Each structure stands twice: as structure tokens, then as C-alpha cells.
């Protein structure tokens, strides 16, 4: 989770609570919880694709206008991308493009990313739940804990190049990291009973901080129970 995204979220939550009125005090800290099934789509520099995901969430009503919520989402499948290109050229400095390509090692890159877990913290701003249909605006932060793997497989090695050269030999790289950013979205709580609601929900995780693109779109159906 980036510092910038966390600071923006904290400032927004503080402003919302500061603007709240005492008349809503009777609804504060009313808890809720539930589960979700979602379509989790990733668009990133290294990988893309979609997966079914299951989630658990819980929150509290801070006022009749604002809920604070935390969520855990677990995608079922990895996200992948494969392509082929020149990974290393043994052409001397100043060579022409044709020479660089002629003396280049053509490699297949197979990339996959496992999202071990996505954790998010958001506020949901909505009108008073006086009717069966209650729309909400979502803003907050999200963090993905991911495991990235890249398999390098040589396809073509130029004549005269040692196949055991460190820049040529096939290998695999694996590393884990956290990817964070802002989350925005919207939902619609449809009350089935005074306590039970079904909630279509869409959220966009903007993780493209700096030069690297790591975005996700999540559309889900939730079952929510208010205690």
C-alpha cells in the first residue's frame, strides 16, 4: 500500500467524520459482515487476465451516511502473459539494428502472477437506508500481496555464442512483493430483509504509481448481514 494512497484515504475519512452531525450518533458502530463472489481482472505491465475470486468483508456504520469497511479477496487462478523477443545481443557497440538482431538471443518469456491476497480498506458514502435500494460511492486503498514468476527459455542462440553463457542459459526468477494504490467504485445495496441485503459492487484498484502499471477491476455480488 503506497504512502500517498494511504494519506489520501486518511485525509478523506477524517474530513467525512468531521462533517458528520450529532443527529446520526444513534447509528454509529453498527457492525455488518458478509461474503462475495467476484470477477477479478488484472491489467499490468507483466501480466493480464481474469479470475474468479472469493471474498470476506466486515465493517461498521460510522453514521447514517458513511460505512467503514475492510475486505479480504482471494483470486482462484494466476494471471499470465507470454511473448518472444531479443533478450540479449552480442553485437559490439555502434552496430546497426540488423547486426544487433542477427547477434541477438531470441528468448521466450513466460510470466505469471499469483495474487495471494488482496486487502482493502474503504469508506462507503451513501444516502440514509430508508428505502429498499441504497446506492453507495466507494473510496479507499487496496494492497495486493503477489508472487511474480518469469521463465526465460532460449529459442534461438546466435552462431558462436556459448549456450552456457549466463545471459543465454534458461532460468526462472521468482519474487514476492506488495502492490498498493487507490480504490474507487460504486455499489447498490438491495434489502431482502431489514438485516440481509444483496449488493452488486464494482471497484477499480489504481496501482499505477510511478512508471509501472498494476491495475485491477473487480465486479462482485455480495451478501451482507447487518447485526
Encode pLDDT of 196-214 as tens digits: 999 999 999 998 777 789 9
Look over the chain and give the mean of its residue pLDDT values, rounded to a whole number: 89
Q: Rounded to an integer, what distance in angstroms lies between the CA atom of residue 214 and that of residue 205?
A: 8
What are the φ and ψ backbone dihedral angles of 14, each rounded to 5 degrees?
Answer: -60, -40
Answer yes or no: is pLDDT of 2 > 60.
no
Q: How far apart, in whole angstroms, are the C-alpha atoms of residue 84 and residue 14?
A: 49
β-pairing verdict for 104-125 and 133-156: antiparallel
Predicted confidence (pLDDT) at residue 130 exceeds the cutoff of 90: no
- Model confidence band, residue 167 (pLDDT cutoffs 50, 70, 90): confident
pLDDT band at residue 129 using 50, 70 and 90 as cut-offs: confident
Alpha helices in the chain (DSSP H): 3-18, 97-102
Assigned fold of 3-16+27-86+100-226: Porin (2.40.160)
* Least confident span in 22-26, 71-75, 137-141, 222-226: 22-26
* Count of positions (residues) in the chain: 227
Between vectors from CA 32 to CA 28 and to CA 33, what angle results, nearest 5°? 155
CB-CB contact of 28 with 62 (8 Å): yes
User: pLDDT value at position 13?
Assistant: 53
Short-list 139, 187, 185, CA closest to 16? 139
Tell me the pLDDT tens digit for each residue of 6-61. 555 555 555 555 545 444 444 467 999 999 999 999 999 999 999 999 999 999 99
Q: What is the pLDDT of residue 26?
A: 46
- pTM, rounded to two decimals: 0.81
Start-to-end C-alpha separation, the chain: 30
pLDDT tens readout for residues 71-95: 999 999 999 999 999 999 999 999 9
Among 19, 26, 123, 112, smallest CA distance to 69 is for 123
Task: Report the percent of the chain where pLDDT is more than 90.
Answer: 78
Is 195's pLDDT higher than 60?
A: yes
> How many whole angstroms separate alpha carbon 182 and alpha carbon 74?
19
Amino acid at each position: 500500500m503506497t504512502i500517498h494512497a494511504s494519506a489520501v484515504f486518511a485525509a478523506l475519512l477524517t474530513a467525512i467524520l468531521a462533517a458528520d452531525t450529532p443527529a446520526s450518533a444513534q447509528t454509529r458502530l453498527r457492525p455488518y459482515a458478509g461474503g462475495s463472489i467476484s470477477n477479478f481482472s488484472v491489467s499490468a505491465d507483466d501480466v493480464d487476465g481474469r479470475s474468479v475470486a472469493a471474498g470476506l468483508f466486515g465493517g461498521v456504520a460510522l453514521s447514517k451516511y458513511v460505512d467503514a469497511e475492510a475486505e479480504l479477496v482471494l483470486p482462484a487462478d494466476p494471471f499470465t502473459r507470454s511473448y518472444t523477443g531479443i533478450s540479449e545481443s552480442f553485437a559490439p557497440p555502434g552496430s546497426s539494428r540488423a547486426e544487433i538482431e542477427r547477434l541477438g538471443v531470441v528468448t521466450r518469456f513466460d510470466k505469471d502472477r499469483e495474487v495471494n491476497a488482496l486487502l482493502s480498506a474503504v469508506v462507503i458514502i451513501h444516502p440514509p437506508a430508508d428505502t429498499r435500494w441504497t446506492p453507495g460511492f466507494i473510496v479507499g486503498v487496496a494492497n495486493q500481496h503477489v508472487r511474480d514468476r518469469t521463465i526465460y527459455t532460449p529459442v534461438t542462440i546466435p552462431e558462436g555464442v556459448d549456450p552456457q553463457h549466463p545471459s543465454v542459459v534458461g532460468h526462472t526468477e521468482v519474487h514476492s512483493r506488495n502492490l498498493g494504490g487507490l480504490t474507487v467504485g460504486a455499489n447498490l445495496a438491495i434489502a431482502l430483509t431489514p438485516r440481509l441485503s444483496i449488493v452488486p459492487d464494482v471497484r477499480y484498484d489504481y496501482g499505477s504509481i510511478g512508471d509501472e502499471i498494476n491495475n485491477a477491476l473487480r465486479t462482485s455480488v455480495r451478501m451482507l448481514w447487518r447485526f
